[in-house]
Structure 1
Amino acid sequence: MKENAFTARYGPAALVTGASSGIGQAFAHSLAERGCDLLLVARRGDRLQALAAQLASAHGVGVALCCVDLAHPDAIEAITKAAEAMDIGLVVSNAGFGLKGPHQDNDPAQMTALLQVNCAAPLHLTQRFIPALLQRGRGGIILTSSVEGFMGIPFSAAYAASKAFINSLGESLWGELQPQGIDVLALCPGSTDTEAHALQGIDPATLEGMMAPREVAELALKHLDDGPVYIAGEQNQAMFDALLGMPRRDALRQMADNIRAVLLPRKAQQ
């Protein structure tokens, strides 16, 4: 496939974690359409194999797979080994999950796994791949964060805290790497039409302004050089501009009241 401006800067290959569904799968489609070979990472090998076959057939790109669970600390070593023969120019650290409800009701093992997947994995993944990006003198890093990373979110304490970590990591790496030709973007979506809502006991019908995963991925790639932090969607931008413009105590009370009214009655019925 003929090299284009995108692959010249961020190719020839891209790494995507959490690629078996949602925004990660959308990134895989968008990058394959741009001509990037791919290293796709996720837990569910059957989904990865089906996706790889689809992308290779439709776009003629090479697709390698690494079936690992990022909740395990040794997953980063497996990803690094899988990438040894590839010239990775773009690292998309997308895998993550959330927990919704009163903080005291969270399962300790799940919180530990959340910290490993949402925080430790991106931290170590970027540390491993930055040297090669610097040697190339060009490339990019996308860290999938969330609008919840901009302030504490009642009844989403662990997830919001993990995404605040990602926003800070993205800003820090942008400051380090941008002068050396490496773009860094902390992508902050709002409500996105993925299976994550159902897994957290949330009815997607109660969420306003939900975006399609493909739209989020395309916006991220379009704004990759507009880092360090990017909110996907004008409605999400306007909502958090308003919240962050309020006294913090008022914003937190307003969010807590809104979430309490929707989330807690549903939890009580389960």
Structure 2
Amino acid sequence: MQRIDLKHQYGPVALVTGASSGIGQAFAELLAARGLDLVLVARRLERLTALAARLQETCGIQVTICPIDLSDTTAARKILEATATLDVGLVISNAGFGIKGEYTQVEAGVMTDMLNVNCHSPMQLTHGFIDRLRHRGKGGIILTSSVEGLMGCPYSSAYSATKGFVINLGEGLWAELRDDNIDVLTLCPGATDTEAPALQGIDPKTLQHLMSPADVARLAFENIQNGPVYIPSEHYQKTFDRLLSLPRRDALMAMAKSMKPTG
């Protein structure tokens, strides 16, 4: 893929949510290396502060930190207020979390938080930033979804539903903003070497075709102009191409068999 001059196309400032670890941190590191100033959003203040200090020292950029919990329905408004005077040209709505297991065993309150983080936040952030991007004449939006958003995934039903929302949001915005010089990419990673699997009760050692967050972020930037949806893993691209070619009942039963918890 052709290397895009990210600072020229999307600078001078990029916003990254979920920046304290995983793919979000990788986005921040790659953007800082390309010379973009950053707005970093996450719950964990200590991690944000340490990351900001490191990137400012090593890359000579400016970093604004926003220690905000995106499960709070006012989070997007707070982020928009905090960035009102900044020329943000790239919005990366990356924060999210998932839940695995039998649907009725998931706590209702946790599902509400997941809905707010995974759906409400990207919807409100894009709604607030699009007019700013239009006013500046160019920009970009990356929404982090998941391959599990490509279909309803048994034993990951609520999570895949939230990520399906993100895919549909991103696809619609991609088409709406084509004439506004605003690139929209919905990123659908497969298994990635982040904290997420362990937090969902999955032993990362059992996962195959695990990608590094740095590779996922790099490939997203290389394909930001190739939307609307991009799957960075060749393995998961082939897997879901095959599943989605099946009658939906057969695909769902195959997923249920492979994802049903054991023990």
* Structure 2 length-normalised TM: 0.97
Q: In angstroms, what is the RMSD of aligned CA positions?
A: 0.9
Residue equivalent to 2:38: 38
Once the two structures are superposed, residues 164-185 of structure 1 have per-residue CA deviations (whole angstroms, 9 ceiling, x without a partner) of 0000000010011121100000
Distance across 1 between alignment mates of 2:5 and 2:69: 33
Distance across 2 between alignment mates of 1:11 and 1:264: 48
In the TM superposition, 1:37-116 aligns within 5 A as 37-116=37-116
What is the SS of the residue equivalent to 1:236?
Answer: helix
- Percent identity, aligned pairs only, is 55
Once the two structures are superposed, residues 87-115 of structure 1 have per-residue CA deviations (whole angstroms, 9 ceiling, x without a partner) of 00000000000010000001000000010
Distance across 2 between alignment mates of 1:11 and 1:76: 21
What is the SS of the residue equivalent to 1:226?
Answer: coil
Once the two structures are superposed, residues 174-221 of structure 1 have per-residue CA deviations (whole angstroms, 9 ceiling, x without a partner) of 011121100000000000001111111011111110100010000001
1:236 shift after superposition: 1.3
Residue equivalent to 1:215: 215
In the TM superposition, 1:226-237 aligns within 5 A as 226-237=226-237
Distance across 2 between alignment mates of 1:249 and 1:88: 44
Distance across 1 between alignment mates of 2:243 and 2:44: 37
Show structure 2 runs of 5+ residues with no match: none
Residue equivalent to 1:188: 188
1:264 shift after superposition: 3.2
Distance across 1 between alignment mates of 2:78 and 2:23: 22
In the TM superposition, 1:154-173 aligns within 5 A as 154-173=154-173
Distance across 2 between alignment mates of 1:258 and 1:116: 28
Residue equivalent to 2:134: 134
Residue equivalent to 1:264: 262
Distance across 2 between alignment mates of 1:32 and 1:184: 21
| Contact persistence 1:19–1:41 (CA under 8 A) | yes
Distance across 2 between alignment mates of 1:235 and 1:31: 26
* Structure 1 length-normalised TM: 0.95
Distance across 2 between alignment mates of 1:12 and 1:236: 34
Residue equivalent to 1:125: 125
Distance across 1 between alignment mates of 2:35 and 2:81: 23
| Contact persistence 1:39–1:63 (CA under 8 A) | yes
Distance across 1 between alignment mates of 2:156 and 2:5: 40
Distance across 2 between alignment mates of 1:31 and 1:71: 25
Show structure 1 runs of 5+ residues with no match: 266-270
| Contact persistence 1:101–1:264 (CA under 8 A) | no
Moved more, 243-252 or 109-118: 243-252
Q: How many residues align?
A: 260
One-letter identity of the residue aligned with 2:62: G
In the TM superposition, 1:235-254 aligns within 5 A as 235-254=235-254
Moved more, 131-140 or 246-255: 246-255
What is the SS of the residue equivalent to 2:26?
Answer: helix
Higher helix content, 1 or 2: 1
| Moved >3 Å (runs of 4+) | none
What is the SS of the residue equivalent to 1:225?
Answer: coil
Distance across 2 between alignment mates of 1:178 and 1:206: 41
Once the two structures are superposed, residues 2-39 of structure 1 have per-residue CA deviations (whole angstroms, 9 ceiling, x without a partner) of xx832111000000000000000000001111111000
Distance across 2 between alignment mates of 1:247 and 1:76: 39
One-letter identity of the residue aligned with 2:7: T
